[in-house]
Amino acid sequence: MIMTLTAGDKAPDFTTKDQDGNQVKLSDFKGKKVVLYFYPKDMTPGCTAEACDLRDNYRVLQKQGYEVLGISTDDEKMHRKFIEKERLPFRLLADTDKSVHTQYGTWIEKSMYGRKYMGTARVTFIIDEKGIISEVIEKVDTKNHAAQILGMSSPQNASKKTVAKKASGNKAIKKPVGKAAKKAKKKKK
């Protein structure tokens, strides 16, 4: 998937409405970190798993200073039903005219069973306090999305990933094979 926005780009400002018809402007969140996650459709299995994972980890995300905003092409009424059904503590934004999707490059051609159609790319943008995109998550793990977000944003987790990669890179080191090890192998057979 080719994305038009990458880490380091200024997040395009937009104005749209939330599930209650309240106007939401991205620039109103300046000074806060924002998780802006694009998802295809309310109340579908993958989108529900993603929303519920963010719901279950919402306090942790808040403690890390994040404001969570979900956005899809569904209307306000559908978002309200989704929030009530799943008890979501964050806002869902209605982008029925796809203007925000277009700005973020998330309205794309998809293919299913050989049929091509236009739809929402499941992508999350992590936006810093200055309105700059710090991370773009293109391969969203719907059941563990909060961990993806927190893993990318935490310098402590970033160093752990580096250590883990270095440790896993040591697999090429061969174990010394002495006479005792050879005897143990023969006994197992």
Active-site residues, by number, are: 47
Q: 115: which strand partners?
A: 112
- Give the span between the Cα atoms of 13 and 27, in whole angstroms: 6
Q: Nearest-5° angle of CA 25, CA 85, CA 106?
A: 40
The identity of residue 135, as a single letter, is E
154 phi, psi to nearest 5 deg: -90, 120
- Give the span between the Cα atoms of 127 and 140, in whole angstroms: 16
- Give the span between the Cα atoms of 169 and 163, in whole angstroms: 10
Residue whose C-alpha is closest to residue 61's, from 183, 147, 158 = 147
Rounded to 10 degrees, what is the CA torsion of 168, 1, 7, 135? Answer: -60
DSSP state of 75: -
